Structures are given as C-alpha cells and as structure tokens.
C-alpha cells in the first residue's frame, strides 16, 4: 500500500492559516518518517489556492502560501490522470453520486498515482470507489501525533 499523501485544498489552507495546527503537526510527523516526495499536492489544488489568494489579496496569506507550497511537490496532470478521470466521472454519474469537477480531478489524480488523499471533505471523497482518504484535522490525528511525539 502506498504511503504517498496528496493534500487537498482545505488541508493546505489550514496549514497556511495555522502553522502550528493539527494538519501542520501531522505534516511534520510524516516528513520525519518518510521522504519529502511522499507528501505532495495536485496542480488542481494549486489552482484552487491561487484563485482564493487572488480573490482575497492578503499579503500574510501570500507568505503562508509560499511557505507551505515550497515544502510540497506539486504534481502535474498526466495522461494516466485523464484516463482515470474519465472512468471515475462516468462511474459516479452512473451511480447518481457525482462530485464537483475539481474534486473529481483531484480524486482521479490521487487514484492514478496510488496516493492517499488527505482532506477535510470526507463526505464528498468517500463516494469515490477505491480512494484512500485521511483527515488530518480530526481529533484522532492530534492524539496520534501526541503519542508518536518527536523522534
């Protein structure tokens, strides 16, 4: 099973707003345990974040964005993602459980690269067959981080 983590927009946004928060603690723990390339994000997430920053135009958030994003590998969309996206969107629409277009791309990206998707939007992404989902903003994560502690 893959130990590669693809971070969704809401997780990175949380890390931007709270550099010492739950998601940031979990990120630091993962960074110690695994290689830096094991925590990444999608260019689709980068687009969503840039849109939010452009709309809000806040210098503190811009600095936080740069701080967080330089610690992550930003993955481009490849042809394997396109194939996965087409199959996923078709399946979800046939089941009558579609998810948003950007979320479909993000889910397809995680599936195609065998990543665990880290998101606070579990209700949406748990509808995606075969997608591993973790939420680094839940209380269990705080307990897990506290139990593991620094190495």
Which residues contact residue 61 at a Cβ distance below 8 angstroms, ignoring those fewer than 6 apart?
Answer: 16, 17, 53
Residue 6 has, within 13 A of its CA and on its CB side, a CA count of 28
Q: Tell me the domain boundaries of the chain.
A: 5-148
Q: What is the pTM of this model?
A: 0.88
Per-residue pLDDT of the chain (151 residues; tens, 9 = 90+): 448 999 999 999 999 999 999 999 999 988 888 776 689 999 999 999 999 999 988 899 999 999 999 999 999 999 999 999 999 999 999 999 999 999 999 999 999 999 999 999 999 999 999 999 999 998 665 455 445 444 3
CATH of domain 5-148: 3.40.50.1010
Q: Give the separation between CA 76 and CA 26, rounded to whole angstroms.
A: 24
pLDDT digits 0-9 by tens, 34-59: 776 689 999 999 999 999 999 988 89
Q: How many residues does the chain have?
A: 151
Summarize the chain as % helix, strand, coil (round to 5): 60, 10, 30
Q: Which residue has the tokens 């928060």?
A: 21
């Amino acid at each position: 099973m893959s130990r590669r983590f693809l971070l969704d927009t809401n997780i990175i946004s949380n890390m931007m707003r709270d550099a010492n928060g739950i998601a940031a603690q979990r990120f630091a723990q993962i960074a110690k345990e695994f290689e830096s390339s094991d925590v990444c994000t999608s260019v689709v997430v980068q687009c969503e974040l840039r849109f939010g920053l452009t709309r809000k135009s806040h210098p503190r958030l811009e600095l936080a964005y740069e701080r967080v994003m330089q610690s992550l590998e930003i993955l481009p969309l490849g042809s394997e993602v396109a194939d996965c996206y087409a199959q996923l969107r078709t399946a979800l629409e046939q089941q009558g459980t579609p998810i948003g277009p950007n979320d479909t791309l993000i889910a397809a990206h995680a599936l195609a690269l065998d990543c665990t998707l880290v998101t606070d939007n579990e209700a949406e992404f748990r509808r995606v067959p075969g997608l591993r989902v973790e939420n680094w903003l839940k209380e269990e994560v705080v307990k897990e981080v506290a139990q593991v502690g620094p190495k």
